[in-house]
Structure formats: structure tokens, C-alpha cells
Structure 1
Amino acid sequence: MNEEQLDLLMKQHSGRLLRVAYYYTKNLHTAEDIVQDVFIKYYHLRQPIDPSITERYLIKMTANKAKDYLKSWHYQRLVFQEKWHSLKNQQQDALVIHDEEQLISTAVLRLPMKEREIIAYYYLEGLTLKAISELIQINENTLKSRLVKARKLLKAQLPEVEWEVLKDDTL
């Protein structure tokens, strides 16, 4: 096989082989490397392959190379590292969330009873202003005023916390 024949073969089959390798590896760069290795190996074959089965032969070579990659130590190490980092990030995220929740809880507990009550019902329980109004038998406009005041008090207590609901003073 000469280089021109290989170039023609690559133009004809690269797309399909790349898809096959990608279906196995789920990584474009790895799939490209596998297809490149397949063409190099095909170029160095001692016996020519029957042109009628060339495509099937290349697909089989690609699938086998992809399977070998998935069994490789390198791939197994990558999978382990991804799982480790994911677990580590989840633990860190949980700690950060817990710390923020504790800061917010402490700040809410420092609010006067009227403002604490509206924050608890509105944000923690997810009740609407109308439902809270009916529950504690206070005018809805009064509740809106208390909610705005409670947000301002929380902002003052938590200047370093980026809490989305505190940014919105409108109701």
C-alpha cells in the first residue's frame, strides 16, 4: 500500500471510524488517537486486505483498539481520578453549603420575631404571601413591608454572603 492509497482510504473511512471509536471511549481526542493508530497499523500490514472487506476490517480494528484502551491501565486510572475528584468536590461543596446554611440560619434567628416569622414562612416553607396572610391573619401589604425589612436586616448581617433572594427587594 502506498501513501496515496492510504490517504484515499483515510478520506473514505475516517468519519465512520471516528464515530465507532467515540461510541466506545466517549472522548473525541482519544477517538482521534485510536483512528490514527488504526490507520498506521493498517498501513504497516504485511499482507494486503481484500478491498471488499476493507471497511469491515477497519471497523473491527477500531472497535478492538477502543476496547483495548478501555481495559488499559491509563484509562482505569483516569476513571478512578475522575471519581475521586468528583467525590472530593461533592464533599467540599457540601461543607460550603453547610457553612452558608449555618450562617444564614444564625442570621435569621437574630431577626426580630415579626421578620423572622415572615422569612421562615416565605422562604423556608415556601408559602405565598396570600397564604401567610391567611395563616397569621395580617394584611398582605403589611407582610410585604415586613419581608422587605427582613431582607434589609439580613443583608446587613450577611454582607459577605451572596444569597440570591436578598438581591431582589421587589415582590
Structure 2
Amino acid sequence: MNINDLKELMLQYTDSLIRLAYCYVKDLQAAEDIVQEVFIKFYHNQNNYEDHGEVKAYLTQMTVNKSKDYLKSWTYRKIQLQNKLFSLAVKRNLDELVRKDEQAIIGEAILNLPIKHREVLTYFYFNEMTIAEVAHILSIPESTVKTRLRRGRELLRNQLTGLEWEVLLNE
């Protein structure tokens, strides 16, 4: 087999072999590399082929075997581990950015509340004080603190309509 025959085979079967390899490895670049290796191996070992069967079946079997070898390889497992670690880091960063954005929006909405609701919400949520501690600091009864918290949350819900905040939905 000369180089022109190989080029003809590559033109004819490359797309279908890449699709086949992709079905196994779920990575286009890896699938392309596998098919390239298949054609290189076929060219170098063409005397082992000896026209015993259809070329397409032979190349297909080589692609399947190379794909399975790739899935067993350390390279594949290392890439999978790196992707998982990267996706966890990205998710953590996105979660942190979303949390900061939500805090800024809620903080701004709290600043628009009347002072009696604002101070109770600030002490209770941001300073993480109990109802009793808030009542003691403001010198008001605990029932008044509870009422102001409830009304402050209602006012916040009204200000933040259209936005679904986990904090407000769970209250």
C-alpha cells in the first residue's frame, strides 16, 4: 500500500472513525488522536493486515481497541481527575460570587427599610444575635423583636419581588 492509498482510506473513513471513538471517549480531541494513531499503526503494520477482510471492519476494530485502551490509560484517569477538581473549584468560585452578589443586593434592600426593622434584621441576621440579645440591646420586649423581624422580612420580600432568594423562601 502506498501513501496515496492511505490518503484515500483516510478521506473515506476518518469521519466515521472519529464518531466511533468519540462514542467511547466523549472527548473530540482524544477521538481525533485515537483515529490518527489507528491510521499510523495501520500504515506501519500493513503487512500484518494481508487483505483478510474488509478494511473498514479492520479499522473499526482497531479504533474500538484504541478507544478502550485510552479509557484504561493513566492519561485518561488523570484528565478526568483534573476535570473534576477544576469543576469543583469553578463551582466553589461561582457559589462564592453568587453569595456575595446576593449579600450585596439584600444588604442594599435592608438599608431601604425603616430604621426599626433595619436594626432588628441587622442584629439578628448579620450579627447572629438571638431574639433575647436583640431585645436587651434595643431595650424592647422580645415579642416586639419578633414582630419587627416578621414585618421586616415581609418588607424585604416586597422589595425583592421577582427574585427567588433561598434565604427568604425558607423563612
Which AA in structure 1 matches 2:5?
Q
Partner secondary structure for residue 47 of structure 1: helix
Deviation at 1:93, TM superposition (A): 1.5
Gaps of 5+ in 1: 127-171
Cα distance, 1:122 vs. partner? 5.2
Q: How many Å apart are 1:101 and its aligned residue?
A: 1.8
2:110 aligns to what?
109
Residues 118-140 of structure 1, C-alpha deviation per residue, up to 9 Å, x if partnerless? 652253476xxxxxxxxxxxxxx
Could you tell me how far apart the structure 1 residues matched to 2:24 and 2:89 are? 27
Equivalent residue for 1:90? Answer: 91
Partner residue in 1 for 2:32 = 32
State the alpha-carbon separation in 2 of the partners of residues 67 and 52 from structure 1: 22
Please give the alpha-carbon distance, in whole angstroms, between the structure 1 residues aligned to 2:84 and 2:20: 25
Q: Report the secondary structure of 1:50's partner residue.
A: coil
The answer for the alignment partner of 1:49 in structure 2 is 50
Name the counterpart of 2:77: 76
CA distance in 2, matches of 1:91, 1:63: 37
Please list every run of 5 or more consecutive structure 2 residues that lacks an aligned counterpart in the other structure: 115-151, 164-171
Q: 1:106 to 1:27 in 2, by over 3 A?
A: same
Distance 1:103 1:59, change over 3 A: same
Which whole-Å deviations, capped at 9, do the CAs of 1:145-167 have from their partners, x for residues lacking one? xxxxxxxxxxxxxxxxxxxxxxx
Question: How big is the shift at 1:108?
Answer: 1.3
CA RMSD of aligned residues (A): 2.5
Partner of 2:4: 4
Q: Provide the TM-score with structure 1 as the length reference.
A: 0.63
Give the whole-Å Cα distance in 1 for the aligned partners of 2:102 and 2:11.
Answer: 57
Pairwise CA distance, 1:51: 6.1
Give the secondary-structure state (helix, strand or coil) at the position aligned to 2:90: helix
Q: 1:125 to 1:14 in 2, by over 3 A?
A: closer
Give the count of matched residue pairs.
Answer: 126
Q: Deviations over 1:54-83 (max 9, x none)?
A: 211110100110111121111111111111
